[in-house]
Amino acid sequence: MIRKVKGTRDILPPESRLWQAVEAEAVRTFGAFGYDEIRLPLLEPTELFVRGVGEGTDIVGKEMYTFTDRKGRSLTLRPEGTAGVARAYIENGLGQRPHPLRLFYAGPMFRYEKMQRGRYRQFSQIGIELLGAATPEADVEVLLALHTYLGRLGFDDLVILLNDLGDPEDRAPYVARLKEELGPHREALCADCRRRWDENPLRILDCKVERCREIVSGTTPIAETVSAEARAHVDRVRELLETLGVAVRPAPRLVRGLDYYMRTVFEVVSPALGEHAVICGGGRYDRLIADLGGPAVPGVGFAIGEDRLVDVLPEAYCRRVLEVPFVAVVPVGAAAAAAQALAQRLREAGVRTEVEVSGRSLRAGLKWAAKTGARVAVIVGEDEAARGEAVVRDMAAGEQRTVTVDALVEAVEPLLEADGGADDGH
């Protein structure tokens, strides 16, 4: 038997309905904020991520799926979306469009990393990018869109963590100070952090190993060393979010794993997955497009880990999506065409409808309808079809009545509404 590649998975019904629902809600919510979809290639030149994400990051150093194609070019399966958006901005001349430019994306990403609950080597992200505005108000819009989206999914316990990384010019003095403070404890750090010492020292602050967390807890927070301009920017973000009722928690060790972030950085964590399980992260990246050879265009955005998001969806939301009452149409004898015509009538009215197409008898067809969880069965035989009628059976009560075809929808909908409503399109 051929098995799936380790780190990938099959998303089967009915779970796939949850994926459809959260993606549809993303389109609705972010669309209401003015964001349009951008669809990016799965394959990008490796140089894009080396220059954009950072050569010293774990993503570039350890996690990318990179290969050489038949013409000797180094290509990489995209590990994240923001660098691809920046490349598309430059390559397609998006700077000629009115700014700020609002974009969102959704789709699979690839990283070779340790698997755990909600984390896979092929995973999906939903993200937005706001390009062309350097103000705190732009950061607030992005966080407000995120907060609105998560609220519409029914979340009320997620925590938004926020920190100030300062400007790139603040980085070198802080790294020198951090190394000085950590110097006496260097050998006590984990192997990854000892490697990060020279490659990407800021990532030591974000290590999840308990021993390293204890060591860095005594270091100076980066937000205390940033420029006055950066501090004023992030303070304004916090002030506006508080006014809008969006609660955030200070996170002085939060640095994110990508080199392009500056000033505002944030993560969303779920108590259901644990304190260190991030389902969303983002921040400001004003130098990224220029670093990739484009104009100086500021940006801010986030990416949601869709696998983890679906894993912790509120139970009430899952029930609303998964427990959609539906109708099973059971033909008897030579009534296949009539059954499909009735089903089409119901579908056009927005009712989820399945037709028995395996040639079962009436008794077997009703057993099939019960086993699949149909709330209502519609039975049609040759005689009913000739008279323009059908039998509507309430599967819960075991009661049935004959109605005209024209009255079918009117007869079915109250039975569905008694069990939670007709199909809402998910």
The second-level CATH assignment, the architecture, of 15-167+226-317 is: 2-Layer Sandwich (3.30)
With a cut of 90, say whether residue 44 has pLDDT above it: yes
Q: Sort strands 262-269 and 299-305 into parallel, antiparallel or unpaired.
A: unpaired
Which residues contact residue 29 at a Cβ distance below 8 angstroms, ignoring those fewer than 6 apart?
A: 145, 148, 149, 152
With a cut of 70, say whether residue 9 has pLDDT above it: yes
With a cut of 90, say whether residue 11 has pLDDT above it: yes
Tokens 């270091």 — which residue?
219
With a cut of 80, say whether residue 4 has pLDDT above it: yes
Q: Sort strands 36-37 and 101-110 into parallel, antiparallel or unpaired.
A: parallel
Which part of the chain is CATH 3.40.50.800? Answer: 325-417
Q: What is the pTM of this model?
A: 0.89
Beta strands in 70-145 (DSSP E): 74-77, 101-110, 122-131
| Lowest pLDDT segment from 33-47, 253-267, 329-343 | 253-267
Q: What is the mean pLDDT of residues 42-66?
A: 83
Q: Band of the pLDDT at 421, cuts 50, 70, 90?
A: very low
Q: What is the mean pLDDT of residues 346-370?
A: 96
Tokens 């050489």 — which residue?
68
Question: 168-195 in b/e burial notation, b at 16+ Cβ within 10 A?
Answer: eebbeebeeebeeebeebeeebbeebeb
Count of residues in the chain: 426
Find how far residue 202's CA is from the centre of its chain: 26
The amino acid at residue 343 is A
Please confirm whether the linkage preceding 271 is cis (ω < 30° from 0).
no
Q: What is the CA radius of gyration of the chain?
A: 27
Q: What is the DSSP letter of 14?
A: T
pLDDT attached to residue 424? 43
Q: What is the mean pLDDT of residues 32-55?
A: 92
Q: What is the DSSP letter of 2?
A: -
Q: What is the pLDDT of residues 250-307, one digit of tens each?
A: 988 888 767 789 999 999 988 777 666 788 999 999 999 999 999 999 999 999 999 9
Q: Band of the pLDDT at 185, cuts 50, 70, 90?
A: confident
pLDDT attached to residue 216? 87
pLDDT attached to residue 276? 65
With a cut of 50, say whether residue 425 has pLDDT above it: no
Residue 274, token pair as written in the block: 């644990």
Q: Which range, 85-94, 152-161, 274-283, is most confident?
A: 85-94
Which residues contact residue 358 at a Cβ distance below 8 angstroms, ignoring those fewer than 6 apart?
A: 368
Q: What is the DSSP letter of 273?
A: T
Q: Closest Cα to residue 121, out of 199, 168, 62, 72?
A: 62
pLDDT attached to residue 335? 94
Q: How far is the C-alpha of 385 from the C-alpha of 335, rounded, in Å? A: 7
Find how far residue 131's CA is from the centre of its chain: 20
Tokens 């075809």 — which residue?
405
Q: How far apart are the first and last CA of the chain?
A: 33
The percent of residues in the chain predicted with pLDDT above 90, rounded, is 72
- Residue pair 173/187 in contact (Cβ under 8 Å)? The answer is no
Find how far residue 225's CA is from the centre of its chain: 33
Q: Band of the pLDDT at 420, cuts 50, 70, 90?
A: very low
Q: Closest Cα to residue 302, out of 90, 144, 423, 100?
A: 144
Superfamily name with CATH number, domain 325-417: Anticodon-binding domain (3.40.50.800)
| Lowest pLDDT segment from 44-53, 114-123, 211-220, 341-350 | 114-123
pLDDT attached to residue 318? 96
Other CB atoms within 10 Å distance of the CB of residue 210 = 9
Q: What is the DSSP letter of 184?
A: G
Which part of the chain is CATH 3.30.930.10? Answer: 15-167+226-317
Q: Band of the pLDDT at 241, cuts 50, 70, 90?
A: very high
pLDDT attached to residue 58? 67
3-state secondary structure 193-246: HHHHHHHCHHHHHHCCCHHHHHHHCCCCCHHHCCCHHHHHHHHHHHHHHHHCCC
pLDDT attached to residue 17? 96
- Residue pair 59/79 in contact (Cβ under 8 Å)? The answer is yes
Find how far residue 417's CA is from the centre of its chain: 30
Which residues contact residue 228 at a Cβ distance below 8 angstroms, ignoring those fewer than 6 apart?
A: none
Q: What is the pLDDT of residues 125-136, one digit of tens each?
A: 999 999 999 999
Q: What is the mean pLDDT of residues 91-100?
A: 96
Q: What is the DSSP string of 26-68?
A: HHHHHHHTT-EE----SEEEHHHHHHHT-TTSHIIIII-EEEE
Q: Band of the pLDDT at 229, cuts 50, 70, 90?
A: very high
pLDDT attached to residue 422? 41
pLDDT attached to residue 419? 54
Bridge partners for 401 per DSSP? 392
- Residue pair 181/220 in contact (Cβ under 8 Å)? The answer is yes
pLDDT attached to residue 61? 67
Compute the C-alpha angle 236/241/244, nearest 5°.
Answer: 130
Q: Closest Cα to residue 102, out of 140, 134, 142?
A: 142
Q: Which range, 47-61, 111-125, 182-196, 370-384, is most confident?
A: 370-384
pLDDT attached to residue 207? 82
